[in-house]
Amino acid sequence: MYAVITRTLREAGLRVTPQRMAIYLTLVKTKAHPCAELVYQELHHDFPSLSLNTVYNTLQIFEELGLVRRLDTGEGMCRYDANPSPHMHFVCKVCGRVLDIEYDGTTTLAGIREHVQASSGHVICDYSLLLYGYCNACVRKANSPK
């Protein structure tokens, strides 16, 4: 993962700074799909000179470079994901967690792509699919006796 970000930043003519590395690694090591504010809170002790604005700008650069994926789950904020594998997301309407749904897209998503490409001629290069509902933990909690 160091190699990926180092190479991508250099190819884009951008400096590989400790702050940029730290922001990227924060996203790589979490499955929580944090927003910029959370990334900032996670790092500002180690990087006192880091500003929230820098985190926003850096995440935007990462998105443009394809290092991270931006998720708009309709909460009025953007979440970020450094997991490059094609997968879907599940948003819990109770606890608000955004969970990865590992799915390789070989059947249904590929079927949607084929259908759209064949019927419209649009070329689909990526997917972002959000599923909304009640996560298994919230369902268990709701069903357990009080």
- Kindly list the residues in this chain that would bind Zn ion in the complex (CB under 5 A): 92, 94-95, 135, 138
Distance CA 90, CA 72 (A): 12
Which option in Mn ion, Zn ion, none does residue 94 bind, with CB closer than 5 to 8 A by kind? Zn ion
Which option in Mn ion, Zn ion, none does residue 60 bind, with CB closer than 5 to 8 A by kind? none
Record the tokens describing residue 55, joined without a space: 């985190």
Is the Cα torsion angle 65, 74, 76, 83 positive or negative in sign? negative
Stated length of the chain: 146
What residues make contact with Mn ion under the rule CB under 5 A? 81, 83, 100
Shortest Å, Cβ 81 to Mn ion: 4
Shortest Å, Cβ 139 to Zn ion: 8
Q: Phi first, then psi: what are they for 106, rounded to 5°?
A: -75, -25
The residue (of 1 and 95) whose beta carbon lies closer to Zn ion is 95
Shortest Å, Cβ 91 to Zn ion: 9
Query: CB–CB of 105/130 below 8 Å?
Result: no
- Per 3-state DSSP, the chain is made up of helix, strand and coil in percentages (nearest 5) of 45, 15, 40
Which option in Mn ion, Zn ion, none does residue 83 bind, with CB closer than 5 to 8 A by kind? Mn ion
The residue (of 99 and 124) whose beta carbon lies closer to Mn ion is 99
Shortest Å, Cβ 92 to Zn ion: 3
Find tokens 């985190």 and name the residue. 55
